[in-house]
Amino acid sequence: MHTEPAYSEIFLTRCAFVIYGKKVYKSFSDRLPLEGAKEVLDFGCGMGTVAYYTLKRLESGRLTCLDISERWLKACRKTLRDFPDVSFINDRAALENDCFDIIYCHFVLHDIQESELEEAIPDLVRALKCGGVLVFREPLKEIQKLVTIKRLLSENGLILKDSRITDVPLMGNSLESVYMKAEPAD
């Protein structure tokens, strides 16, 4: 069961976006491999803080923003109102198989209960094209949740390609990892 964010949380997120946008959200978006016509999913998009910078770099292709919260999706639509190639969904069951080149999650997965992660991660992997990547940034202090996330990604066939620790303003040390969906063996 999910609860909608408080309006104060949305307000504080908007303030962080205005003040720290380039250091927090743009820096993450800048590391996404967006060359060419990519189909991209922002999983847990919130108010669209990373999506805003991703759309500035996505020359061709399309971005889908997914959040289970209607309140966050409303805020996201407002943030991204000047970008035409965006779609919004609030249910991961709407994800099609093998349709995204890139899926990213920015400070989302650690907030999801383990039982829900066990359902969500296979759905994300299913929606990822072969050769596609799933990129996440999560707080390092959530080490037990990170262990679970990494285990579930590996168990569902993703291969770790890159990982690094960064210091994110307001959020502290964070783990950024890139996983790839391997091509099927012949």
Q: Which domains does the chain have, with CATH numbers?
A: 7-181 (3.40.50.150)
Angle formed by the axes of helices 7-21 and 49-57, nearest 10° = 40
Residue 65, helix vs strand vs coil: strand
Q: What CA–CA distance (Å, rounded) separates 110 from 144?
A: 9
Dump pLDDT digits (tens) for 64-118: 999 999 999 999 999 999 998 899 999 988 899 999 999 999 999 999 999 999 9
CA dihedral 8, 28, 68, 88 (to 10 degrees): 110
Q: What is the pLDDT of residue 90?
A: 93
- φ/ψ bin of 11: left (φ > 0), alpha (ψ from -120 to 50), beta (otherwise): alpha
Q: What is the pLDDT of residue 165?
A: 95
| β-bridge partners, 181 | 158
Beta strands 172-181 and 158-168: pairing type? antiparallel
In 3D space, the residue among 127, 62, 64 whose CA is nearest the CA of residue 98 turns out to be: 127
**26-32 average pLDDT score:** 94
